[in-house]
Structure 1
Amino acid sequence: MIKKKAVKTILFTTLAMMMGLGALTAQAKNVKPKRVSIAKSSKTVYVGNTYEIEAKMTPHYAEDDYLYWTIVSGKNVVKFADNDRYDDDIKIRAVKAGTAKVRCRIRGTKKYDTITIKAVKKKYSYAFSRVGAATRTVYVGDDFELKVKKTAGLKDNDLKWSIQKKSILKFDDRDITDDEVELEAKKTGTTYVTCYNRKTKKKINYKIKVVKRKYSYAFSRVGAATRTVELGDDFELKVKKTSGLKDNDLKWKIHNTNILRFDDRDITDDEVELEARRTGTTYVSCYNSKNKKTITYKINVIRDRDDNDDDDRYDRDDDDDDDDRYDRDDDD
């Protein structure tokens, strides 16, 4: 009986302690701060940037929902970055130059602290510099790029490009307010391309020389110089072009059109299709109008090899019959 009473007493005491601890914990979570302070009394910020301000509470474990932030003055200078005003920190954004005062107060009391915000415009040099060589040599027909390097604060639309002689160069697109520009070389000559900085009123010039590309216009034979084809065959001849040489710079010619003929009318190309019309030997030439040189192929057209083999076989049979006949005559 005594043991049962002792156990009941212990259980009751434990339950009471747990309930008391829970109440204390709940109370501790809802502690109202007795004091609030902001580390700095003033702060200088740059227009356009966002900053965080933090408040300290006493005791430190107090509930920060008791704090409330307000812009006391200079509401056109700074703005809150979000709508949560009940916290121990707040984010503000400087929207224009000027001075503002921000307050953090303990709700339901007259206890607070303030910070003075001075918003200033960041000072930029707006400098820019050349990228690469001041003088460039390009070839007619080339697409190329010019570029400048911007410093902080300088925007693309603060820059504008221009061409001195538009007959020599042209812009590849209409975007000429940028730190880089695309151009195309139209014809030979020398001109200047300028990038103008509207902020500093300064210019960067590039000297551009446009020249014609020098080509050898060489070409070479593809495959053997002498070909043997069968009567009725379609076949191809080809030459290899070097840079600068175009299809219409070449022209093919058959020396004996009774033996060969072109398979189509396209004879200004680096390759040509032909048809063997009759047996014999002829030449096919490819003339290069740029360097005035000619490549010639020798073409032998023969009858079908199978037909030739059959003819030989029949010839041999005939000869054997004749020999037998002569042998029989001799025996007689």
Structure 2
Amino acid sequence: MPAPLPSPIRDALLLGAVIPAMPLALTAARSLDERRQRALIRYYADAGAGGLAVGVHTTQFAIRAPEHGLFRPVLELAKEELDRADARLGRSMIRIGGICGPTAQAVAEAEALRDLGYHAGLLSLAALSGSDDDAMLAHCRAVGEVLPLVGFYLQRAVGGPELSFRFWRRFTELDAVAAIKVAPFDRYRTLDVVRAVAESGRTDIALYTGNDDNIILDLLTPYRVRSGDGWAEVRFAGGLLGHWAVWTRRAVEHLEACRACSAREAGAPAELLRLSAQVTDANAALFDVANGFAGCIAGLHEVLRRQGLLEGIWCLDPEEGLGPGQLDEIDRVARAYPDLNDDAFVAEHLDRWLSG
């Protein structure tokens, strides 16, 4: 078994945090822009994010390709900046690294993350699509021998396999499981995971929303599930989201507002229900829903470019960019919902983040 999560990290994960999925900062030559990559991490830390996910979909899976060779360098750079952030802020940020591929690759990536001091691995099962539950659970078990796991229900539109309630119920029996990112963009499949965690009786598994189409409502909803002779209630503790890689200061405020509402055990006020619809509408533009999520990474880059955090919207794949009409949609939601951005906060600190 891997070493358990340090108590402060475990407690922070269970309490709930904003965990942005880190974008990759590139130059026009599509090489790593270290200066702006460091500035991004400083932005997330100062915005109040409780952690960072590195090497995940938003960081671009192609960093693992031999021709780019960026997986280890990006992990190392992020580690350095997170070490500095911990020292500067006097708190420990949750460090999650993406893990993908078949079992041999996934175990090797988990070992790299462990050696660099990452706390847990976000385990994509896309490479095992078509495998049965036994094969997928054996894969999870092998990776979990190296590093605590954050399970990942990735939506099918971007390559995630369909995972049954039975799979998730058995997954919750793995001692290495620390959290689950629920991101099928599907209420029925979300309930499968919620029910599995509730029926497991485990209170040490943190649920994190990755449902970009339902962020605020996931955070507000008390999920009450029949378990044995009684009822179990579980909630999403926080979010691990590509959407929260932009306007992160506002995301921290949104999580705090949802947590305060839950603590009052009162019905969600109309203002939070309105916010939910606005965030979902904005996400549709940022993630390029109209074009089947083709521009989901470039859309985030465009917001960060406008704020000055990125120089451009380049992706490792020269063919990857904004979808048709996406720029107009980003313009629309920027005009419609000015309260969702944190432009003033970024402008106030940008020079410091870039100078380091």
TM-score class normalised by the smaller sequence = under 0.3
Q: What TM-score comes out, normalization by structure 1 length?
A: 0.17
Larger Rg, first or second structure (1 or 2): 1
* Higher relative contact order, structure no. (Cα contacts within 8 Å, ≥ 6 residues apart): 2
| TM-score normalised per structure 2 | 0.16
Larger helix fraction of residues: 2
